[in-house]
Structure 1
Amino acid sequence: MQSLPRHRCLSLLKQNLKAATTNHTKQIHAQLIISILKSLSLHAKLIQLYCAKPSPQYTHLANLIFTHFDPPNLFLFNTLIRCTPPKHSLVTFSNWVAEKISSFDDFTYVFVLGACARLCSVSTLWLGRQIHARVVRVGVIFNVLVPTTLIHCYASNKDVVSRRKVFDEMPMRNSVTWNAMITGYCSQSKRAKDCAFETLLFKDMLVDVCGVKPTDTTTVCVLSASSQLRDKNVLTWTAMVIGLAIHGRGKEALRLLDLMRVCDVKPNAVTFSSLFSACCHACLVEEGLSLFDNMKSKWGLEPNIQHYECIVDLLGRAGHLNEAYEFIMGMPIEPAAILWRSLLSACYVHGDVVMGEKVGKIFLQLQPESISEDLTGTSEDYVALSNVYASAGRWQEVESLGKQMKVKRIETERL
């Protein structure tokens, strides 16, 4: 076997690890042993290189690299736990716990819980619960990565109760947390109550106080679960529409309405609001207007102010400002200030000063009670109106608007 120069060993280790053959890997290991180099990153890469090999003997060699350091190094320990097969990871962790070495960090628990998730068994679930108790005791449960991995561990081991308990007790969640919780239901047998609960959980995600937004993974999982429900109701259909709307898949959301008709499920007002939102996100103007026209004639639902607002928003986003104005003026009910507000914002976005002035004049002619109710504290509305007037050189109106803001105690920094 041809010897590998020392500088070549280190070069291979620093570069792509796949470039090293099995013999080269052993030579790299030997060079690190006989050299004075104690670089943790190089030793960690060598552990990764050994763990990528399928034979158990390489796992043993990876373990030797870790034991080469005295005292044991936590960074290399975490690397070993993360890269070795799950069974070996759990044995290594258990041995270190048995020796009463407690210098673990958050990543240690994340990696060992990940191993528990990959190796599902009764004993693994028992170990996962022991680790759960430990992370609560030492306080690392407040790192969002730890309870998220714990949820994944319980989900893999089919412990629904513990998984939900961890989720409910989390002070903060991210999209990975939600996905771990929801995909846990996807991985289990598709009982109707589980699928229904999963869809409701997705609905909760949309209004989560942390502002977490669903990802593509979340949407796919929820749609998969909803499709397997035995008794689909308007709630589950609406949740599916919302998921598609968020990701701009408006035409797919509209097709769900046809499926609802086939399944004899009648949409409600929230369903139509979600469908209009889908049209807005996908710029489906004609489809949205047609849907609005059919809302009463085909489905027997009377549009409410939220539906009118959706149509104004749809037309405004597309730049159809005259159509939006005529739509508001032709409403059978009294237009709310929020409709004019939406159109005014669209005028500013599209630079239509003429229409902006027209809408602004109507805006200011609203009854004081209505203005106080709808506009107090919403400085952005005044900013938009002021900018439209300023663009037209209507400085008196700008000054008058500023006085109104002072009277209503609305901040003026943004003007």
Structure 2
Amino acid sequence: MIKTGLNLLPFATSKLLAAAALLDAPYARSIFDRIHTPNLFNYNTVLRAYSIAPNPAVQEALPLFKSVKAQGIPLDQFSFISTLKICARCLALETGRQLHGSILRSGFQLYLTVRNILIHFYCACGGLTGAHQLFDEMPQRRDAVSWSALIGGYLQISQPGKVMGLFREMHVSGYDINAASIVSALSASSDACGRGGGLLHGYCMKVGLCSDLNVATAIVTMYARTGCMGAARQVFDVIPRRDLVLYNCMVDGYAKGGLVDESLALVHQMKYEGVRPDAATFVGLLSACASSGGLAIGRHIHEHVQEERLELDATLGTAFVDMYSKCGCLDKATEIFDRMRDRDVKAWTSMILGFGVNGRTAAALQLFYEMEEKGVKPNEVTFLVVLSACSHGGLVEAGKELFERMVQEYGLSPRMEHYGCMVDLLGRAGLLDEAYELIKSLPLKEDAVAWRALLAACKIHGNIELGEMAQQALVPLCDEQLTGSILLSSTYALAGRWVDVARMRDLEGEKMMDKKEPGCSIIEIGG
């Protein structure tokens, strides 16, 4: 489009923006930023992209929403709907309340879709009082979505009595409690293993809705999402006709629970029943293998993928790269990475991480620069991975440069993990004073990650004075106090200050010994 000049045509640009919005919000935003005079459709398209993105960012969407108002472009209901969806997913209660005020002032509360999304927003953020008030104000203008949103809200806070009361009220009011209503309510339930989820399941059995494949899948998904795999399997086993979506839900649920053998057995069963696996079937399994170091099972999964002739797309390819890297097969991970046609930022980040965790710091750094040359923009996770590699490889200057570029060149805001990495980088190199100054400059002073990194560095370099300061900073952070005491005690021991070692142990008493859980290692034989 750029070569032919089509990017200058508003219609063509809007079409491209709409297509990009379905795939990648940052890419859609980059297209939007090149539009000289964006219209409301363009703004709404990007807002919708943020609302459906895997990681919606209210801090990016809200300024965009405000800029529409600042430019005098009349808003419509879709502007509010997308922005409220983002607030709901980010649990941005105060921001959503401000939007609610704007809706009332602009008169869009008359739209049923806007009222429904407001109910959903308040339910998602725990504001059930506000949600129910909105619901009560629209007795003549409710639909199944209104009921399902409120029912889902009460399910989230484990109030099964309210849920069943709403179902009865819904039935009395003449609304059909159909499969769609049940699926919507089940999808919102986070109380699967409690009374709420079981109550919904029982209701479905009572009215005969469990025979509906969509309802059955929603029940299995509800149980699997919260780790109730026994209940999920009971439902799964009595479903006469099982499709790919249902199988994938069970396979992924077992994998996330660490039950890799059960997950793999289901893959064999689905193939026996004539259900062909897809890429999504294996992604969760590969993640479980990566976490447990199950190389033999990972290779077995690879054989399944080759048998099905599945393409190594960005998601599946990245899962293989991650699995082989974490299992120590870096050559195999590199081979798969090089074969991937579509390598997004997650794929590059996974390969950089693979080099880093296997001690190949220089290769990790080189791959990062290659990623930039290919035009792939690194994100916060990429920088965290490459900074960690620099820290473990002792590349102080490279780490400093990357940290500065992260902020200045890419406009990314460092999180506490990034600061912790930088403190670790400086501390390992013996630059303890510089690490301490960095901690003092942090926006959030009570950062346990950074203080623990500094204390660990003090232990390595025997800086008792600074180590004591770090340990004192950790004292108010109760969860991290024990680790800090152990590190400081070790620092005293290295300096031969046994009286101080005894003092630290006396201060902690039995608390230190009781809370220090034993570690464990996994060794795979014959893998």
TM-score norm. by structure 2 comes to 0.40
TM-score norm. by structure 1 comes to 0.49
Rg: which structure is higher? 1
Higher-RCO chain (CA-CA 8 Å, sequence separation at least 6): 1
